[in-house]
Chain A
Amino acid sequence: MELSQLLQNVLNGLAIGSVYAIFALGYTLVFSILGIINFAHGAVFTLGAYFTYTLVVGQFENNGILKGINLFPNGSPFSGNPWLFALATLIGAAVAGLVAVLIERLAFRPMRSRGADPLLALVSSLGVALVVVNLIQLLVGAEIYNFPSDAYGQVQPALSFHIGDRVVIVRTVQIIIFAVSLVMLAILGYVIGRTKIGKALRAVAENPGTASLLGISVDRFILITFFLSGFLGGLAGTLVGTAFGVAGPYFGVTYGLKGLAVIVLGGLGSIPGAVVGGLVIGLAEAFVPAQYSAYKDAVAFALLFVILLVRPQGLLGRAQIQKV
C-alpha cells in the first residue's frame, strides 16, 4: 500500500472511529452502573440529530404530523455561523440526554424497583427504542433530512495535500468530528476521574448498596449517568448527521449494533475500552479495500469474534475472577 493510501485510510478510520467511540461511551456508562445494555441508545442517537436539525433548519416539508411546519420563516438563528451551530448541537445533545433520563424513569426504574431480571430491562429498552423510532416517523416521516451545506458558515468542503503525485483528501466535517470527539472524551475523562461526581459515579458502579450506605443517592446518580449517556449519544447523532445527513428514523439502528461491537471489543464497562474499541473498529473498516467496502459491517463483527476468542474480556476489560 502506498503511503498516501495508508494515510488516507488512517484519517478516514479515525474520523468514523471517534464517532463510534463517543456513541459507545454512552452504552458503557450505563452498563458500568446498572450492568445492562440500553438498547434505546441508538434511538437517542437518532433523536439528537433530529433535535439539532429542528434548531438549525426547523422545517419538515413532506410527511408526518409536522408536515409543512416552518419554525423559522426568516431563517434559523442557529444557522450560518460555526459557534451558533455548535450551540444548537449542544442543546440538541442536552435534550437527547433528557430523553434518556425519561427512558430511565419509564423503562428501567420500575423494573429495578421490583427486582426484575436484568434481561427484562434489556427487552423493555428494546421496546422503548421501537416506540421512539416509530414516533419519529409518525411526526416527520421517513425522509432523509440534511443540514444545509452552509449551516456552519462558509467552510472549505475538503482539505487536500499531496504526497508525491498522489492526493490525500479529508472532508472538513471529518476533521470537526474528530476534534469534537477528542474534546468530549477529554472532558468526560476529567469528570469521571477527577471530580466529586465522577467519584460518586465510580462508587455506585462498584457497589450500589455500599454507595447508598455512604450517603450517595444512587437513583440520582443513575439519572446523571443516563443524562451523560444520552448527551453523548445525541452528540454523536448530530456529528454523523452533519457528515452524512440525518438518514431517517432508522438511522441509529446500525450505529446501535456497531456500538455494541465496540463495547464488547473494548471490554464491557471499560471507558478507555470504549474509546480504543471505537477507534480499532473505525480503522479496521477504513482498511477494507474499496471494492469490498460493502462488507465493512461484517468486518467489525468478524474482528470482534477473533479478539473475543483470544481475550474473552475484550481489549481492556477485566477478567472475571470467581472465588470458589
Chain B
Amino acid sequence: MKRVALTVMLGLLASAHAQKVQVPVPIGVALAQTSNTALLGQEQVIGAKLAEKHINAHGGINGTPIKLVFQDAAGDENSAINAFQNLITKANVVAIVGPTLSQQAFAADPIAERAKVPVVGPSNTAKGIPQIGDYIARVSAPVAVVAPNAIKQALKIDPKIKKVAVLYAQNDAFSTSETGTFQDAAKAQGLNVATVQKFQTTDTDFTTQVTAVLNSGADLVIISGLAADGGNLVKQLRQLGYKGLIVGGNGLNTSNIFPVCQQYCDGVIIAQAYSPAQPSAANQLFVKEYRAQYKKDPPQFAAQAYAGVQVVADALRALDHQKKLSQWNLDDLRTALNKQILAGKYNTPLGEVRFDKEGEVLQKDFYVAQIKMQDAKNGSFVYLK
C-alpha cells in the first residue's frame, strides 16, 4: 500500500516537473558577442539572426514560430559554461547552437551532454569535438580535405614552384592542425618545405618571420591563421618585397581580411569550407539577404551559424509532423531532436550536409578561391574550378 502511494506521489511529482515545450520554440545561441573573439562571433550572430528571420517568415515550424535566445559566450571557457547553463536551465531551450571556439566547446559541451540537450557547433573545427558526447554535432568541417586542393591550384597557376615557406598561428588549435595537413600535402606534391615559422594570433609585427621567409628563397607561402593576423602577414610579406604566390588556410576565408591587407590581398589563394559562389538555391537566397543588409558577400562564419540554426529548425519540423511541438515534454523533445538531427539531410548555404553517427558533419562541397580586389577596400573571392 505504502509502495503504491509512494509510486503515485513520485509519478505526480514527475509529471509536475515534466515541462512542456514553450511557444515560440526557444533555440539557444551561445556565441562570442564580447571579447576579442567577437570579431568572429558577431558574424555568427548575424548569420543566426538571418536564419531566424527567414524561417519565421516562411511559417516557422509548420506554423509555430521559433525564437533564438542569445547568451554571450565571450572568448573564454567560463563564459561559455555560464551561457550554456543559463540556456539549459533558465531559458529551457530545445537545442544550442554554439560556442564560437573549439577550446570553449571542450569545456561547455559536456554540460549540455549531461543535461541531454543537443548542441550544433557552428565553428568548432578541432579534432575530437563530435566525440565529446552523443548530443554533440557540428556543421563546421575540419578542412583536412581542402588543403591539398589549394596547393594543387597554386601549382596549376605557377608550375615552377619548388620551395615552400609555411607559417602558422601556434596558439590556435585549428591553425596548428591545419598546418600539419598543409605540410603533408606540400611534401606529397614533391615540394621542399624550406622554412616553418610560428606566430600568435595576437601578433601584429611579423618582420622577423617575413625576413626568414625572404632569406629562405621560397616561391610559395602557406599561411594558417585567422583574419587579423593572416591579413597582416600577407600585407607585410608584400610590403617587404615577397613576390610569389600565397595560399591561405580556412581562417583567412572571410571578407574581414580585405580591409587588413587591402590591395595586397590580391591573388591570395584560399581553401574554403564555404563559398558565396556555391550555386544551391538555399545559398543564393542567403547571399541575397546578407548582401541586401551588409553590402558585401557573407563570410564563412555567418554561413555556418545560419546552417546550424537551419539544421535545428529542419529537424524540429520533422518531429512536429509526428506530434505538434507544443504537446511534447521538453526532455523528450530534446532527446528526439538529437536523434532527428543526426538522421536528417539538409540543404544549407554550405551545400548539402548530413551527419555521421558521432555527429561529424559530412559535407559534399569544398572550394578553392582566389581573392580579387576591386580597390583598396572591396574585394571578392573568385571561385577557381
The residues of A with any CB-CB pair to B shorter than 8 Å are: 5, 8-9, 12, 16, 61-63, 134, 137, 141-146, 148-150, 157-158, 160, 166-167, 169, 171, 174, 240, 243-245, 247-250, 254, 286, 288, 290-294, 296-297
Contact = CB atoms under 8 A, between A and B. Distances in A.
Contacts of B203: 293-294, 296
B209 A293 contact: yes
A62 B259 CA distance: 12
A144 B241 contact: no
Contacts of A157: 238-240
Contact of B42 (A142, A148, A167, A171): A142
A35 to B, nearest CB: 31
B198 A291 contact: yes
11 contacts: A63-B42, A142-B42, A145-B259, A148-B376, A157-B238, A171-B236, A245-B231, A286-B208, A288-B208, A290-B211, A293-B198
A62 B46 CA distance: 11
Interface string B105-128: 000000000000000000000000
B327 interface: no
Contacts of B294: 62
Nearest to A9: B208
B197 interface: yes
Contacts, number: 111
A143 B256 contact: yes
B34 A245 contact: no
Nearest to B39: A142
B255 to A, nearest CB: 10
Contact of B228 (A9, A144, A149, A169): A144
B262 to A, nearest CB: 5
Contact of A248 (B197, B207, B228, B231): B228
A146 B39 contact: no
Given A146-B260, A290-B209, 15 more contacts: A12-B207, A141-B38, A141-B42, A143-B256, A144-B260, A148-B262, A169-B211, A171-B236, A243-B204, A247-B204, A288-B208, A290-B212, A291-B198, A294-B171, A294-B203
Given A144-B228, A240-B204, A245-B204, A294 B199 contact: yes
A169 B260 contact: no
A10 B214 CA distance: 18
A151 B52 CA distance: 41
Interface in B153-211: 170-171, 196-200, 202-205, 207-209, 211
B215 interface: yes
Given A134-B34, A171-B236, A244-B204, A144 B39 contact: yes
B260 A245 contact: yes
B39 A254 contact: no
Given A167-B214, A169-B240, A247 B262 contact: no
B369 to A, nearest CB: 21
Given A157-B239, A171-B236, A144 B227 contact: yes
A70 B203 CA distance: 30
B374 interface: no
A151 B199 CA distance: 28
B263 interface: yes
Provide the main secondary structure of the chain B interface: helix
A292 B34 contact: no
A150 B35 CA distance: 31
Contacts of A286: 207-208
B193 to A, nearest CB: 13
B36 interface: yes
Interface in B58-77: none
A244 B229 CA distance: 9
Given A244-B232, A247-B228, A288-B208, A166 B215 contact: yes
B198 A254 contact: no
B36 to A, nearest CB: 4
Contacts of B212: 290-291
B199 A158 contact: no
A290 B170 contact: no
Nearest to B257: A144
Contacts of B264: 149
B196 A291 contact: yes
Given A290-B212, A294-B171, A143 B39 contact: yes
A146 B197 contact: no
Nearest to A146: B259
B200 A294 contact: yes
Contacts of A247: 204, 228
A149 B198 contact: no
Nearest to A8: B211
B62 to A, nearest CB: 34
Nearest to B197: A290
A-B pairs with lowest CB-CB distance, top 4: A244-B204, A142-B38, A290-B212, A157-B239
A238 to B, nearest CB: 14
Contacts of B202: 254
A146, A171, A174, A286: residue with the most chain B Cβ atoms closer than 10 Å: A146
B204, B207, B256: residue with the most chain A Cβ atoms closer than 10 Å: B207
Given A143-B256, A158-B240, A254-B202, A290 B208 contact: yes
A287 to B, nearest CB: 9
